[in-house]
Homo-oligomer: A and B are copies of this chain.
């Protein structure tokens, strides 16, 4: 279906790039054969590492002409399989395009290449008094370009929004090698169709992002962090909406059921908190702003709002070290849970007030199908990560029975106005469930849009749409 890479193709790549950017050694191919999605391995035939847009354009034009499949790759930290080279071919490794092109502090904008590590970008900006809020758990290693492709979220979305809310403009190399900008470097834009927002979250299937213009906001000076322990899961979920309905917008509002925190504590060998036996869930609540007295007032208000619930002692982080320790626990949960067992991770999202119902439904379906789940996530957005752990489930049930349970969860989620992925993307692993979220008409529209951008279908094949 796609042309296999031949020596003359490698020779051509080595003329457009330099030889060190054309990798066929075993180690490079193996490195680019996986991302963080379960345990999939799909070997590419060659890894290309462009340094600039001209090189990306040359690669795409050639691959389009010769019907060679191309899979773009950021840091490979994705968890829906977006970077997996399902059809072999070229992996386009963006790691050399990792610089800030222009920091425009006066306009609160930065133009950055896709291969810069998100946390490094954030730290550079903070040093200049500027804030780019979206903070996925993997920010210490993921690339900003991958975040754009997946429309990543993170805890701060509840107050600050997600990646798409910060992307003003994208330089995009189309599958045929043409280069366009999708929009303009302006806060408002009513000029033509919103190609920028079409490309954000398109999971590397419409084009290669080569420059990103982000809007920034002023750095925020102060924050408070509270850890609230609950006796009951559903009360923790109810408390989420209670806080929001009171007019408070925390800068993070995270839920962890007991098992999630236990995994994290064990993984880090952490002594940051105690975990009494009667506590079954926690909310991690962050408040940020420029007026510390105001934050204390809001923290007190939250404390008062917890009156109807059975809670333990609220921990208010006393210093930066304690804040860091608490956040470390929360951010390591995903990795910790996965380290323990074979797993599948679902990324369900519902209207926020239905979170308790979602959690109850997940546990109910789990009991019916015989699987255990560890749940945690961005409760303030109604986004619950459901890690289904294999434990002692038979391989047969894991392959054939569990997907039916997942379908039930997704059908329930969509039925209450939610959808099947809040931040991780569809990628490779959720393709077969897309029909739960979308009618045939919607899917046909999306396939047709894909065809507009990529008529020969060489870019990131095997993603989003079922075969």
- Give the interface of A toward B (CB within 8 A): 104-109, 129, 150-153, 157-158, 161-162, 164-165, 174, 178, 180-195, 197-198, 200-202, 206, 217-219, 241, 244-245, 247, 249, 290-291, 294, 347, 349-354, 378, 381-383, 414, 417-426, 434, 437-439, 441-442, 445-446, 448-450, 452-453, 464
Tell me, in angstroms, the Cα distance from A202 to B219 when the chains sit together: 34
Q: Are A186 and B104 in contact (CB under 8 A)?
A: no
**A218 and B185 contact, Cβ closer than 8 Å, known pairs A151-B190, A178-B441, A180-B445:** no
Q: Are A422 and B351 in contact (CB under 8 A)?
A: no
Q: Are A353 and B383 in contact (CB under 8 A)?
A: no
Q: Are B425 and A186 in contact (CB under 8 A)?
A: no
Among A178, A188, A291, A347: residue with most chain B CB under 10 A: A188
A19 CB, min distance to chain B CBs, angstroms: 31
Q: Are B290 and A187 in contact (CB under 8 A)?
A: no
Q: Are A417 and B185 in contact (CB under 8 A)?
A: yes
Question: Can you name 23 A-B residue pairings with CB atoms under 8 Å?
Answer: A107-B353, A107-B354, A153-B190, A157-B187, A164-B194, A164-B197, A165-B165, A181-B442, A183-B419, A184-B437, A186-B382, A186-B383, A186-B419, A187-B381, A191-B421, A192-B434, A192-B438, A193-B201, A195-B442, A198-B198, A291-B294, A294-B294, A448-B452
Closest to A450 in B: B193
Q: Are B191 and A417 in contact (CB under 8 A)?
A: no
Tell me, in angstroms, the Cα distance from A180 to B437 when the chains sit together: 11
Tell me, in angstroms, the Cα distance from A449 to B420 when the chains sit together: 25
Q: Are A189 and B419 in contact (CB under 8 A)?
A: yes
Q: Which residues of B contact A414 (CB under 8 A)?
A: 184
Tell me, in angstroms, the Cα distance from A353 to B381 when the chains sit together: 33
Q: Which residues of B contact A347 (CB under 8 A)?
A: 190
Tell me, in angstroms, the Cα distance from A290 to B174 when the chains sit together: 47
Closest to A186 in B: B349
**A201 and B195 contact, Cβ closer than 8 Å, known pairs A184-B414, A452-B448:** no
Closest to A245 in B: B106
Q: Which residues of B contact A434 (CB under 8 A)?
A: 191-192
User: Which of B105, B161, B200, B420 interacts with A194 by CB under 8 Å?
Assistant: B200
Tell me, in angstroms, the Cα distance from A35 to B151 when the chains sit together: 37
Q: Which residues of B contact A249 (CB under 8 A)?
A: 217-218
Tell me, in angstroms, the Cα distance from A421 to B187 when the chains sit together: 11
A153 CB, min distance to chain B CBs, angstroms: 5
Q: Are A108 and B193 in contact (CB under 8 A)?
A: no
Q: Are A180 and B441 in contact (CB under 8 A)?
A: yes
Q: Are A420 and B191 in contact (CB under 8 A)?
A: yes
Closest to A129 in B: B247
Closest to A196 in B: B197
A289 CB, min distance to chain B CBs, angstroms: 9
Q: Are A191 and B426 in contact (CB under 8 A)?
A: yes
Tell me, in angstroms, the Cα distance from A45 to B321 when the chains sit together: 71
User: Which of B383, B437, B441 interacts with A192 by CB under 8 Å?
Assistant: B437
Q: Are B452 and A449 in contact (CB under 8 A)?
A: yes
Q: Which residues of B contact A187 (CB under 8 A)?
A: 157-158, 349, 352, 381-383
Tell me, in angstroms, the Cα distance from A187 to B437 when the chains sit together: 16
Q: Are A192 and B106 in contact (CB under 8 A)?
A: no
A454 CB, min distance to chain B CBs, angstroms: 11
Q: Which residues of B contact A452 (CB under 8 A)?
A: 445, 448-449, 452
Q: Which residues of B contact A247 (CB under 8 A)?
A: 129, 218-219, 290
User: Which of B198, B244, B351, B438 interacts with A186 by CB under 8 Å?
Assistant: B351
Tell me, in angstroms, the Cα distance from A138 to B150 when the chains sit together: 36
Among A161, A189, A244, A442: residue with most chain B CB under 10 A: A189
